[in-house]
Amino acid sequence: MPSFWFTFSLFILISSFFSSSHTIEDDIKLSLIDFLQNLSGNNSDEVAKSFGWTISTDPCTDRWNGVSCNTRTGTLRKIILEGKGFNGSIDARSLCKATRLAVVSLHHNELQGTLSPEISDCKQLTHLLINGNKLSGSLPSSLSGLNNLKRLDISNNIFSGELPDLPSISGLRTFLAHDNKLSGSIPQLDFKNLDEFNISNNLFIGNIPQDAAKFGPGSLSGNPGLCGEPLKKPCQETLSKRKSKEISGEKLAMIIGYALLGFLVILLLAFMIYRRRKKKNSVKPVNASTTSELSEQRSPYSIGDDSNTASPVITSDLVVLKSGAIPELSFENLLKAPAELLAKSKVGSTYKVVLEEGRSTFVVKRVKDLKMLGKDFSKRMAMIDKGKHESVLPAVAFYCSKQEKLVLYEYQQNGSIINLLQGSGGGEHQPLTGWNKRLDIAARVANGLAFMHKELEDRELGHGNLKSTNILLDKNMNPLISEYGLTIQSETKSSFMDDVFNLGVILLELLTGRVVQNNGSELAQWVQSVVKEEWTVEVFDKVLTGETASEEAMVSLLQVALLCMNSSLDTRPSMAGVASMINTLRDEEEDRSIVSEV
């Protein structure tokens, strides 16, 4: 019965991928390649080639890097090229030859030039995320023609001039434009329906619309010409009605303001001098009292007798992978820094280490019992580091000697997806529990793992210790897979299959909201027993079923999870297979929400 069921659901899932024989036309492919060349600022076709964008391949079936398609309808839906260091410009005319694009995300590159009017040819655009670039000029008035737009993020650029007629975009949910040089008055957006709004640090002037006040001063400050609630600056009209006495009162306030500002500057200078002196004179004491583990005056990972001398020889043993980023990073500083034990398990302990008076915080993973020579460990770390994927947390540095293997990661303050499931999102963030977010996390994790499996195919080096506590959340609450390949003893085909099984467990956790204690088989059994009776919503997290999530999609993800956990290795899908199933689900959910929201 179960095996019939597995085969059946596998059939359904797989048939939905290959049912489409659509291909993208050559002129669209050529346009997209032009677009990528302009984006990279390099007219040689090497760049496009390195992303797999070639005329002889198909963007959808051959998976051009950064391109996602709706596999069912065979249409190009998303172009996501974030943080790739591109310093060219956005050739919107070529880009929007792919007229069905829904998502264009190019944030955190070094893009220059303007956003040209042809962007409105991408009529179905729902997400335009071009924040964190060096784009300039005024926004084209044609932008107001993008009436499917839900999320517009142009923040942290050099855009100037007045905003186009954005109020005509009725479904806009996000408008982030902070840190630009935009001017004019704030348009009358449909503030009631906006989730996110930030225009701080621009040159906007005039009254703040009443409904915009709910976003608080943080979303409006840094615009010297703005007045009214919630800023503590009343508007001119009311001022002129006041008596002259009050106006002179305002002048007084201004003088006091300047005096205060001067005082602050002096204070700041004094503080900076003090800090510099302090740094010169004092040697930072070892802060051992912060943790219970550190009963001795020594770092928890100090090494034999060398620890107190901290000779340059030791320093050089710390292999820094992320070059240039952190000047204060040395083995010596690590040993001196205060460390806090975060977690301890049979594969090793994890510490939080604060360097340079809190300027950088790292997580140090101390790997236990890894039967491996230091030389081989170094090779492995270098190899893992070669595979770079936005959902895989790269190690910052590592140290290995015969006795000790340490790996450093950047500390992620939002914790792991465990926090998310238990509704206690770390940091300032609200716990994110929605179905679309969970599906997105599932897809990103699967994509990251599929990428790594492909990169490390020759060595057959899997993650080896995949669990929800190892899936961290970055500052945008996107998942980061940490500790890839650290604890794995042997490189075998089955380490890939173990990852697939463990991803299945994580998918079940995301769906049910229950956290797995041991190896997940009990949870799988429970789910299967409920499922065998009849398809039922009972297994799903209550938080999800209360939402508008589609039960059908949740059931489909459940099927994927159970496929991953199939006891027979032969019927377990590969990670690439899992990724494409989840991507298809995510696309369909997005299309559904696009259709239902329009």
Ligand X SMILES: *[C@@H]1O[C@H](CO)[C@@H](O)[C@H](O)[C@H]1NC(C)=O
Q: Which is nearer to ligand X, 44 or 295 (CB)?
A: 44
Q: How far is the CB of 315 from ligand X (least distance, A)?
A: 31
Report phi then psi at 587, rounded to 5: -60, -45
Q: Which is nearer to ligand X, 57 or 174 (CB)?
A: 174
As a whole number of angstroms, the distance between CA 78 and CA 249 comes to 56
Report phi then psi at 143, rounded to 5: -55, -35
| Of 65-73, 198-206, 224-232, 246-254: span binding ligand X (CB under 6 A) | 198-206
Name the DSSP class of 143: G
Q: Which is nearer to ligand X, 38 or 68 (CB)?
A: 38
CB 425 within 8 A of CB 419: yes
Q: Which is nearer to ligand X, 197 or 399 (CB)?
A: 197
Find all residues with CB under 8 Å of 500, minimum gap 6, and list them: 564, 572, 573, 574, 575, 578
Alpha carbon separation from 562 to 3, 421, 427, 525 (Å, rounded): 11, 20, 33, 10
Helices (H), 513-574: 521-533, 542-545, 551-564
Q: Which is nearer to ligand X, 218 or 423 (CB)?
A: 218
Q: How far is the CB of 218 from ligand X (least distance, A)?
A: 4
Q: Which is nearer to ligand X, 226 or 564 (CB)?
A: 226
> Under DSSP, is residue 285 helix (H, G, I), strand (E, B) or coil?
coil
Which among 38, 45, 155 is positioned nearest to 87, based on CA atoms? Answer: 38
As a whole number of angstroms, the distance between CA 550 and CA 420 comes to 20
Q: What's the farthest any 2 CA atoms get from each other in the chain?
A: 88
Q: How far is the CB of 556 from ligand X (least distance, A)?
A: 35
Cα pseudo-dihedral 331, 332, 334, 339, rounded to 10: 140
The answer to the question of residue 131 lying near ligand X (CB under 6 A) is: no
Q: How far is the CB of 142 from ligand X (least distance, A)?
A: 16
Geometric angle at alpha carbon 582, from 581 and 588, rounded to 5°: 95
The answer to the question of residue 157 lying near ligand X (CB under 6 A) is: no
As a whole number of angstroms, the distance between CA 402 and CA 405 comes to 8
Q: How far is the CB of 370 from ligand X (least distance, A)?
A: 37
| Of 193-201, 307-315, 430-438, 590-598: span binding ligand X (CB under 6 A) | 193-201
As a whole number of angstroms, the distance between CA 299 and CA 282 comes to 19
Counts of helices then strands in the chain (DSSP H, E): 16, 20
The answer to the question of residue 429 lying near ligand X (CB under 6 A) is: no
Q: Which is nearer to ligand X, 233 or 429 (CB)?
A: 429
Q: How far is the CB of 357 from ligand X (least distance, A)?
A: 23
CB 393 within 8 A of CB 445: no
Sketch the per residue contact string, 85 through 104, with ligand X: x for CB under 6 A, - otherwise: --x---x-x-----------
Q: Which is nearer to ligand X, 51 or 526 (CB)?
A: 51
The answer to the question of residue 209 lying near ligand X (CB under 6 A) is: no
Q: How far is the CB of 271 from ligand X (least distance, A)?
A: 21
Q: How far is the CB of 295 from ligand X (least distance, A)?
A: 41
Q: How far is the CB of 477 from ligand X (least distance, A)?
A: 14
Contacting ligand X within 18-77 (CB under 6 A): 38, 41-44, 46-47
Name the DSSP class of 301: T
Q: Which is nearer to ligand X, 145 or 230 (CB)?
A: 230
Q: Which is nearer to ligand X, 86 or 398 (CB)?
A: 86
Choosing from 70, 105, 198, 302, the residue that interacts with ligand X (CB under 6 A) is: 198
Q: Which is nearer to ligand X, 219 or 556 (CB)?
A: 219
Q: How far is the CB of 87 from ligand X (least distance, A)?
A: 4
Q: How far is the CB of 180 from ligand X (least distance, A)?
A: 10
Choosing from 29, 151, 178, 336, the residue that interacts with ligand X (CB under 6 A) is: 178
CB 364 within 8 A of CB 343: no
Cα pseudo-dihedral 310, 312, 313, 319, rounded to 10: 100
Number of residues located near ligand X, criterion CB under 6 A: 17
Geometric angle at alpha carbon 185, from 182 and 186, rounded to 5°: 85
Q: How far is the CB of 197 from ligand X (least distance, A)?
A: 8
CB 460 within 8 A of CB 496: yes
> Under DSSP, is residue 321 helix (H, G, I), strand (E, B) or coil?
coil
Q: Which is nearer to ligand X, 35 or 399 (CB)?
A: 35
The answer to the question of residue 219 lying near ligand X (CB under 6 A) is: yes
Q: Which is nearer to ligand X, 131 or 580 (CB)?
A: 131
As a whole number of angstroms, the distance between CA 294 and CA 288 comes to 5
Choosing from 31, 120, 201, 302, the residue that interacts with ligand X (CB under 6 A) is: 201
| Rounded-to-5 percentages of helix, strand, coil across the chain | 40, 15, 45
Q: How far is the CB of 593 from ligand X (least distance, A)?
A: 24
The answer to the question of residue 200 lying near ligand X (CB under 6 A) is: yes
Contacting ligand X within 308-367 (CB under 6 A): none
Q: Which is nearer to ligand X, 152 or 578 (CB)?
A: 152
Rg of the chain's alpha carbons, rounded to an integer? 27
Report phi then psi at 151, rounded to 5: -125, 120
The answer to the question of residue 218 lying near ligand X (CB under 6 A) is: yes
Alpha carbon separation from 65 to 17, 62, 297, 301, 330 (Å, rounded): 19, 9, 50, 40, 36
Q: How far is the CB of 367 from ligand X (least distance, A)?
A: 36
What's the one-letter identity of residue 580?
A: S
The residues binding ligand X (CB under 6 A) are: 38, 41-44, 46-47, 87, 91, 93, 178-179, 198, 200-201, 218-219
